[in-house]
Amino acid sequence: MAATKITVMNNGPLRVEGDFEILDSSGAPFGLAGRTAIGLCRCGHSANKPFCDGAHKAKGFVDQVQARELPAPKPQA
């Protein structure tokens, strides 16, 4: 399978595609029923978190995204 690709959608979710698994905070995997693409909520309004259910549209979530360079990580002490 292809490498994992994450696309930040303008005014919408994080779209994850490829070979991946999603775990809860205790390390238990979500059952993805064979999906190789999924939308993860970033607006905070989904009733099916962490998955996107389209609530961003009704709530008027607006966030335009453009790729940029992150600063170098700080050295660990």
| CATH code of the domain containing 6 | 3.40.5
Q: What is the mean pLDDT of the chain?
A: 96
pLDDT digits (tens, 9 = 90+) for 8-67: 999 999 999 999 999 999 999 999 999 999 999 999 999 999 999 999 999 999 999 999
What three-state secondary structure class fits 58?
A: helix
pLDDT at position 77, please?
A: 81
pLDDT at position 35, please?
A: 96
Report yes or no on 33 lying in a domain: yes
Report yes or no on 77 lying in a domain: no
Q: Residue 54: which domain range?
A: 1-61
What span, in angstroms and rounded, lies between the C-alpha atoms of 74 and 77? 9
Report yes or no on 1 lying in a domain: yes
What span, in angstroms and rounded, lies between the C-alpha atoms of 37 and 9? 14
Domain count, the chain: 1
Report yes or no on 12 lying in a domain: yes
Report yes or no on 76 lying in a domain: no
